Amino acid sequence: MAATAPAEAGSQWPFSCDLEVDFGHEQNAAIVCAALAVDKELQPDKVKRLMAVSHGKLSVHFEATEARFLRASFSAFVDVLTLATKTIEEFGQGMEL
């Protein structure tokens, strides 16, 4: 995980943060990504979130207009990410889609 302030080159807003979680399997990462993509940002004019899955990893990039919006968005996302991850751990083994 990396956080930067102010913006790196290419970042549209002044505050950004990246998170990468290795689920070990492409399918698990895709399931979590799809589940979390349903929840849109509450203030899209202040926070942006981009998610991608590659090689079994979920990558998330956040950008915000203020550090407090970045922190709030990141914190809420990690809470639901934790729940989704625990669900995969509990029910994912041998699960057929």
* Number of domains the chain contains: 1
CA nearest 32: which of 63, 71, 2, 59?
Answer: 59
Residue count of the chain, please give it: 97
Domain span at residue 76?
Answer: 2-91
pLDDT on residue 57: 96
pLDDT tens, residue by residue, 10-21 = 568 899 999 999
Three-class secondary structure assignment of the chain: CEEECCCCCCCCCCEEEEEEEECCCHHHHHHHHHHHHCCCCCCCCCEEEEEEEECCEEEEEEEECCHHHHHHHHHHHHHHHHHHHHHHHHHCCCCCC
Domain assignment present for residue 97? The answer is: no
pTM of the model: 0.80
User: What pLDDT does 32 receive?
Assistant: 93
Specify which residues 15 forms β-bridges with: 64
Residue 96 lies in a domain: no
- In the chain, % of residues over pLDDT 70: 84
Q: Would you state the pLDDT for residue 12?
A: 82
What is the CATH classification number for the domain harbouring 79?
A: 3.30.310.50
Per-residue pLDDT at 7 exceeds 50 = no
